[in-house]
Amino acid sequence: MRCKGSVFIDKVNTFAKIIQNILKMSLMVVGSVAFDAIQTPYGQTDKIIGGAGSYICLAASYMAKKQNLVAVVGGDFPAEYVEILKNHGTDTAGLQIKSQEKTFFWSGKYHENMNSRETLITELNVLEHFDPIIPPQYQGTEFLMLGNLSPIVQRQVIERLAVRPRLIVMDTMNFWMDIMMDELKKTIALVDVLTINEEEAQQLSGKRNIVEAAEAVMAMGPSAVIIKKGEHGALLFGKNGQVFATPAMPLRSVFDPTGAGDSFAGGFIGYLASKGETSFETMKKAVIAGSVIASFCVEKFGTERLVNLPQADINDRIEAFIQLSQFGSTL
């Protein structure tokens, strides 16, 4: 027999655990919310919704219930799309709307093999003087995803957080290496995981060999580096020679690679936030989660596939990834 007090304490403990779970799952995302115009060998789009912040939040929404977004758009940005993000669990309290300005616009063209692209137009607009204001209720976030942005803005976000998040993941690109390598390295020094592609790892580190490049990047600060290889999958390097690799899902049709890297990052950090874990073993599974979401992203133009992705499709793709790459624990 247990007394009533014991039942009460059980209930308090359960409630406390729920609160803990909500806290541990807190995820903040910083990144552009933008218009894209895309040309691929399969077709082209008018201005559609894009930007790292959009892709990351949508991707993460299939792993973590809530994403606290910090971003900026102009008065031309459609309210319906903000609703779509909200419906995916994105808190838009940190989404600034500059009604007198225009939303960031990028236009690019993919070549025949989809591995290389060319930027046709970049109009920074609202992004030029982006001041990342963090709503008070976002403070105390445990997981922080810094989508590709100026490394100065990325660093401002870290500095404006009263408590350092348990895990900071940062994405960047060669553009910042070309124009502000020193600023970039200062920000990289502050993060836990850096996601870049192979050429960027080489450019950043000055090392041609990918193992040496990853080690050189980790010597700059991060405890893990993810090398995104597109159709060839991804590599995760950790300290003490830890390394994990996944192939990409071989797809019958790749319509538009735009946002694949952001979707990967969103799935990756969304998975970790949902588990509340940051171990290398959990990061392995997070790399798979990111790869799964990215594999959907490229199947349609822009965010189309990510905006409406049935859970059953995700479960099937996870199973397909397991079949694709798992052979057991012995030969």
Residues of the shown chain interacting with its own copies in the complex, contacts defined by CB under 8 A: 112-113, 208-212, 229, 231-233, 235, 242-248, 250-254, 271, 281, 284-285, 288-289, 292, 318, 322-331
DSSP state at residue 231? G
Give me the least distance between CB of 242 and its own copies, in Å please: 8
Give me the least distance between CB of 209 and its own copies, in Å please: 6
For residues 144 and 192, give the distance between their C-alpha atoms in angstroms, rounded to a whole number. Answer: 10
Question: Nearer to its own copies by C-beta: 170 or 249?
Answer: 249
Question: Nearer to its own copies by C-beta: 135 or 247?
Answer: 247
For residues 149 and 10, give the distance between their C-alpha atoms in angstroms, rounded to a whole number. Answer: 46
Choose among 256, 228, 208, 66: nearest CA to 142. Answer: 66
Beta bridge partners of residue 171, listed in sequence order: 195
Question: Nearer to its own copies by C-beta: 55 or 271?
Answer: 271
Choose among 126, 57, 42: nearest CA to 89. Answer: 57
Give me the least distance between CB of 192 and its own copies, in Å please: 20
**What is the amino acid identity at position 234?**
A
Question: Nearer to its own copies by C-beta: 18 or 243?
Answer: 243
* First CA to last CA distance, the chain: 53
Give me the least distance between CB of 4 and its own copies, in Å please: 40
Distances in whole angstroms, Cα of residue 280 to Cα of each of 128, 193, 285: 36, 11, 9
Question: Nearer to its own copies by C-beta: 89 or 238?
Answer: 238
Give me the least distance between CB of 287 and its own copies, in Å please: 8
